[in-house]
Amino acid sequence: MPRRARLLIPGVPLHVIQRGNNRGACFFSDDDYVFYLKQLFEQARQHGCAVHSYCLMTNHVHLLLTPSTEHSVSRMMKGLGQRYVQYVKRTYRRTGTLWEGRFRSCLLQEENYVLACYRYIELNPVRARIVEHPAEYQWSSYRINAQSEPSVLVNPHSIYTALATEGVSSAKKTIENYLRLN
């Protein structure tokens, strides 16, 4: 039976999740996270995907993206997966599959879902009890989005930047309050 085609609409944000095989590790050292992020930047740029938020956990990845074409995300994830898996196999002399099948994704059409997805992704390490505050986790976009850390990878979504109409300091407080766990 053929796979069901994904519904991907240009300009509509998408939450992408990719898990390690059998929920096993897919990142083994800091160098792995750095390599993945470099490849994510290159593949997103090459295939026309805007990356709004990310979180790289030990055994899975969360991405909030907006594709420019209906094939942008699939092509980006294919290129990213190929390069990262080749890197892991070469570096750690592994064989077999690294990822658990195809990536999962869901469309985010309502503006409150986009903000909720930012929150869900960037609070992942807090929910996993890896850190107490999302700013402590270096492999997510929290510090870029909530604390204005510079990045060439992350492009805030227009719904997110609309929060700034209240003024920069007010928007930062709004964002930090929204992302707060309590």
The stretch 164-171 carries a mean pLDDT of 57
The predicted structure's pLDDT at residue 102? 87
Does 157 fall in a domain? yes
Domains identified in the chain, total number: 1
The CA distances from residue 47 to 42, 44, 57, 80, in Å, are: 9, 5, 24, 11
Domain limits for position 84: 14-179
The stretch 137-162 carries a mean pLDDT of 93
Residue 111 has pLDDT above 50, yes or no: yes
Separation of alpha carbons 157 and 151, rounded Å: 14
Does 24 fall in a domain? yes
Does 5 fall in a domain? no
Q: In the sheet where 104-107 sits, what is the strand order?
A: 49-56, 60-67, 14-19, 104-107
Instruction: Give the whole-number percent of the chain exceeding pLDDT 70.
Output: 87
Does 31 fall in a domain? yes
The predicted structure's pLDDT at residue 175? 56
Residue 16: name the closest of 140, 90, 119, 102 by CA: 102
Say how far residue 169 (Cα) sits from the centre of its chain: 26
Does 85 fall in a domain? yes
* CATH classification of the domain holding 72: 3.30.70.1290
Sequence-distant contacts of 18-21: CB under 8 A, at least 24 apart: 18/60, 18/61, 18/77, 18/81, 18/99, 18/100, 18/103, 18/104, 19/59, 19/60, 19/99, 19/100, 20/59, 20/60, 20/98, 20/99, 20/100, 21/96, 21/97, 21/98, 21/99, 21/100
Does 9 fall in a domain? no
pTM of the predicted model as reported, rounded to 2 decimal places: 0.87
Does 126 fall in a domain? yes
Count of CB atoms within 10 A of residue 94's CB?
12
Does 1 fall in a domain? no
